Amino acid sequence: MSPHAALLADPSAPPLAVCQGRGTGAASDVGHVRPHNEDAWRIDHATGVMVLADGMGGYQAGEVASAMAVAAVIDALPDALTLGLTAPAPAEVAFEPGDAPAGLGDLVPAHAAASPAAPLSDPAFATLVRAVELANQSVISAARQRPECLGMGTTVVVAWVRGDRLLVAHVGDSRAYRWRCGRLTRLTRDHSIGQAMIDAGLLREGAASIPAMRGVLTRALGVDPGLCVDARSVDLDPGDRILLCSDGLTDMLDDATIADCLGQPGSAQDLAEALVVQALLQGGVDNITALVLGPLPPGSHGGG
């Protein structure tokens, strides 16, 4: 049982779902409101890959979409291990085309913005983007074949450790962060109405978590066959900590609180559980999942 289980507001609730191993930790909880946990995740130590997806849709369809996306990404990546690291990884590059939402709703596809090509000079980088594209195709195909899954979709965020680089790809509002020496850097940009309003100067940072903004996405897997995948590469230093999380965490905790939690002593598993518990204590209105990697030891950067 999780050491934090006693802190759950509902003593009859099950303990946090946990997973740990080799410098990583994961914790997930259904929260205090939702009937099901539609978050899915996986940590593959053999490849150095962490994947998190937050599903949405009709009755249990969100669970199907998120689980399918995670499995599709993991299945698509093993062949990339044969690519090697001969090609240089792009340095601090980002592919973040502007969103052009057509209006409010549970999901607003973004078709209007031109999509510049992602930097693909590293074969592994191209493979990561392709894995997310294949996951999108899998979700779309399943929704067409299964009437009960019509309308399902999911976010996804993937982090892949390659030597002293971290490759990140994402769609939706699940996030990736890097914590370094007390400073928290957000590695992803939300594909949401709230983020678009912030970018346009219509909303202050931090105000996007009001109920009217929460869950309103401009991009997600399962909607558009021509989906644009945002991807970037960042450097890794000894002592860094990496966090992947669903919006159930970031709707409850601001970046300063997240940074404080990640700066506490303890294992990656301790930190993942502490983050989820803090989100539960702040209300826990959605499913909450946190995956943590690190701190990275000197001379060891994970897979690849």
Domains of the chain: 17-97+118-190+222-239+251-293 (3.60.40.10)
- Rounded Cα distance between 284 and 32, Å, is 5
pLDDT at 232 over 60: yes
pLDDT, average across residues 48-71: 90
Q: Categorize the per-residue pLDDT at 296 as very low, low, confident or very high, splitting at 50, 70 and 90.
A: confident
State the pLDDT at residue 254: 94
State the pLDDT at residue 271: 97
Looking at the chain, the whole-number percentage of residues with pLDDT higher than 70 is 71
Contact between 245 and 291 under an 8 Å Cβ cutoff? The reply is yes
State the pLDDT at residue 138: 94
The per-residue pLDDT for range 15-56, each reduced to its tens digit, is 455 555 559 999 999 999 999 899 999 999 888 899 999 998
The per-residue pLDDT for range 203-227, each reduced to its tens digit, is 777 655 554 665 589 999 999 999 9
Nearest to 168 by CA among 177, 213, 82, 36: 177
- Rounded Cα distance between 253 and 250, Å, is 5
State the pLDDT at residue 21: 52
- For the chain, give the mean pLDDT: 79
pLDDT, average across residues 225-244: 95
State the pLDDT at residue 235: 94
pLDDT, average across residues 113-142: 75
Beta bridge partners of 94: 232
pLDDT at 76 over 60: yes
pLDDT, average across residues 104-117: 32
- The top-scoring range by mean pLDDT among 33-47, 52-66, 73-87, 106-120 is 33-47
The per-residue pLDDT for range 4-14, each reduced to its tens digit, is 433 333 333 34
Q: Categorize the per-residue pLDDT at 293 as very low, low, confident or very high, splitting at 50, 70 and 90.
A: very high
